Structure 1
Amino acid sequence: MAKTLYLMRHGETLFNQLKRIQGACDSPLTAQGIADAKRVRQYFASQRLIFDHAYCSTQERAVDTLELVTSQPYERLKGLKEWNFGVFEGQSEVLNPTIRPGQAGYGDFFVQYQGESGQQVQARMVKTLTTLMRQPDHQQVLAVSHAGACFMFLNQWLTPAEIAEQQIVLNNCAILKFTYADDQFTFAGSHNVEVN
């Protein structure tokens, strides 16, 4: 029987609002980020979703989001952290390299600036989430992570063309649903909270 993973992006932060690069660095949730996380909690309740385990990255914005979404116990995992953008951390998003159509993320651009490559981010996300879902008591799992990390995980299972065709957008508090069986994740849909 297939298991289910709900992979969620954290709520809006101050750096998201200011359009600053935020990977290894952190900033607090905004009022909008808090409100959106609370809407996700209501959405999960309306869908009667009960998670047997919950996880988040070790970064404050993911921890705070998860605590607003559920009151159940959870574990923080470094493997769910955001892409490290090296010396670009905290700088304006206009400095990000352009992603060409059909390209999956930023490739290894940030490695030369003491950051991670997309492949490194993808490998740790796949390893972390596969390790979790292999556990026999993990049937329905919630994991809160970050846009770049979630995007690279999604790119392991869908091509950039499939992502564009399905119009998958990773807004703050976006939820990606996957089924899991035999060390394979299958994308099963996405949900974005309504933004006022």
Structure 2
Amino acid sequence: MTTSDRRLVLLRHGETEWARLGRHTGVTDVDLTVRGVAQARAAGPLLAALGLRDPLVLTSPRRRAHLTADLAGLSGDRRWDALAEWNYGDYEGRTTPEIREQIPDWTVWTHPCPGGETHETVASRADMVLSTCEAALPDRDVVLVGHGHFSRALIARWIELPVTEGRRVVLSPAGHTVLSYEHGFRTIVTHNVTPEKGIE
């Protein structure tokens, strides 16, 4: 087996009402919408088509993540606090336009979240997650079911960029990204594959 056969898959949870409205959702446990449930179910065949090797499935502790895993047919999952979404602190539940009324040009990637996680803390957490996953990859593929911003931070760190460069990629509800290697270098194989077609 070559390193290019080793895959780390990131799956974002399906749509929630807060996500639909653009509200930053870190520690708040919100339910999937009806559309989010349909998205999670539709993600299942896309993941099954990957033919993953005895996948180790790890999910965020938030219900929207482990429910997405269940609906997508990812069995035997374990919940891992390290996969929780970025902690937005005082900005929990607020939208970017609302925050920009006080702080023009604010984004989670370029500005602090008072009372929440710093970029450095998120980067350290992402690096720990990736190191742990890499240790498992020689034996089995790994699927991480989590959230938008933290998954994007993981992608940035996988390709050895600062965590703030997560701003360069998007990950849609129930979208997945496959990370692997080529010639010993960490690579992005496919990105933001979504089950949108046919979902009402």
Q: TM-score, normalised by structure 1?
A: 0.82
| RMSD across aligned positions (CA) | 2.8
Q: Report if aligned partners of 1:5, 1:180 keep a CA contact under 8 Å in 2.
A: no
Q: 1:32 to 1:51 in 2, by over 3 A?
A: farther
Q: Report if aligned partners of 2:12, 2:171 keep a CA contact under 8 Å in 1.
A: yes
> What is residue 27 of structure 1 aligned with on the other side?
30
Q: 1:30 to 1:89 in 2, by over 3 A?
A: same
Deviating more after overlay: 186-195 vs 20-29: 186-195
Q: Matches of 2:138 and 2:44 in 1, distance apart? A: 23
The reply to whether residue 90 of structure 1 matches residue 78 of structure 2 is: no
- Partner amino acid for 2:115? Q
Alpha-carbon shift at residue 185 of structure 1 (Å) = 3.4
Q: 1:135 to 1:46 in 2, by over 3 A?
A: closer
Aligned match of 2:20 in 8, 14, 17? 17
Instruction: Report runs of 4+ in structure 1 exceeding 4 Å deviation.
Output: 158-164
Q: Matches of 1:163 and 1:89 in 2, distance apart? A: 19
Q: After superposition, what is the alpha-carbon deviation per residue over 1:62-99, rounded to whole angstroms, capped at 9, x for unaligned? A: 11111111242011111111000001111233234536
Q: Report if aligned partners of 2:18, 2:24 keep a CA contact under 8 Å in 1.
A: yes
Q: Matches of 1:92 and 1:162 in 2, distance apart? A: 18
Q: Matches of 1:36 and 1:70 in 2, distance apart? A: 12
Q: Matches of 1:83 and 1:132 in 2, distance apart? A: 19
> What is residue 154 of structure 1 aligned with on the other side?
155
The reply to whether residue 42 of structure 1 matches residue 45 of structure 2 is: yes
Mark the runs of 5 or more structure 1 residues left unpaired by the alignment. none
Q: Matches of 2:99 and 2:145 in 1, distance apart? A: 24
> What is residue 176 of structure 1 aligned with on the other side?
177
Q: Matches of 2:185 and 2:131 in 1, distance apart? A: 8
Alpha-carbon shift at residue 172 of structure 1 (Å) = 0.7
Kindly tell me the number of residue pairs found equivalent between the two proteins: 187
Alpha-carbon shift at residue 131 of structure 1 (Å) = 0.8
Residue 73 of structure 1 aligns to a residue whose secondary structure is: coil
Deviating more after overlay: 2-11 vs 185-194: 185-194
Mark the runs of 5 or more structure 2 residues left unpaired by the alignment. none
Q: Matches of 2:16 and 2:179 in 1, distance apart? A: 26
Q: TM-score, normalised by structure 2?
A: 0.80
Q: Report if aligned partners of 1:132, 1:138 keep a CA contact under 8 Å in 2.
A: no
Alpha-carbon shift at residue 55 of structure 1 (Å) = 0.6
